[in-house]
Amino acid sequence: DGGITQSPKYLFRKEGQNVTLSCEQNLNHDAMYWYRQDPGQGLRLIYYSQIVNDFQKGDIAEGYSVSREKKESFPLTVTSAQKNPTAFYLCASSIGGGLRTDTQYFGPGTRLTVL
Amino acid sequence: QQQVKQSPQSLIVQKGGISIINCAYENTAFDYFPWYQQFPGKGPALLIAIRPDVSEKKEGRFTISFNKSAKQFSLHIMDSQPGDSATYFCAASVYQAGTALIFGKGTTLSVSS
């Protein structure tokens, strides 16, 4: 089965702790994205990566960090510096290649709750 | 300039009716306009997309209308069904630059039976 997997589906974290959300794709896509979704806010871009070992900040990167060491993986770390981390996090990928905007395919999401 | 404004925030339509969701943008460089559909607890999925070389695109019951001069585009869902109840997002980007999508805030559609 080809697709994007995110784990875990639900994640609980205590205030002050860092937490890493997993995103894996086996679509052989170059580009990967992280979005945050809050009620009534739509999808806001956190970070995106067009190729391995390269990534760019999105609109709301503060308090987050990413790495792209492998083509198929793009983990997101929510740090303790993120003021309001409780949200639904969505990972996406697209064919990419830096030449055009392709269809973005989304994973099932991770719901993070800070206790 | 980078915003995509979507309306209405929520919409209730009778089964068999037409659902209409509107989006407006400011950045004239945008030239790719997709619509995504999201069911509760799931990730969004591409529904239909349009480039500005056409004013309308239809796929089944779903139609995108595009007005380049007004910088507006809309999604029409004909013969709306309860299974269409979901959140719909419009988005925009510069097609050739490989930039990320800019999403509207979403419209929650409820189709009553």
Per-residue pLDDT of chain B (113 residues; tens, 9 = 90+): 678 999 999 999 999 999 999 999 999 989 899 999 999 989 999 999 998 889 999 999 999 999 999 999 999 999 999 999 999 999 998 876 556 889 999 999 999 98
* CA dist., res. B59 & res. A86, Å (int): 37
Using a CB–CB cutoff of 8 Å, tell me whether A45 touches chain B.
yes
Summarised one tens digit per residue, pLDDT across range A61-73 is: 999 999 999 999 9
Contact A103 B49 (CB under 8 A): yes
* CA dist., res. B38 & res. A35, Å (int): 14
Among B80, B87, B82, B104, CA closest to B38? B87
Among A74, A81, A61, CA closest to A29? A74
Question: Are B10 and B65 a contacting pair, CB within 8 Å?
Answer: no
* CA dist., res. B43 & res. A46, Å (int): 16
Report the amino acid identity of residue A5: T
Q: Go through B14-47 and write b for each residue having 16 or more CB atoms within 10 A of its CB, e for each that does not.
A: eeeeebbbbbbbeeeebbbbbbbbbeeeebbeeb
Contact B98 A99 (CB under 8 A): yes
- Residue of A5, A9, A43 best to disrupt the B interface, most CBs of B under 10 A: A43
Summarised one tens digit per residue, pLDDT across range A72-108 is: 999 999 998 888 999 999 999 988 765 566 788 999 9
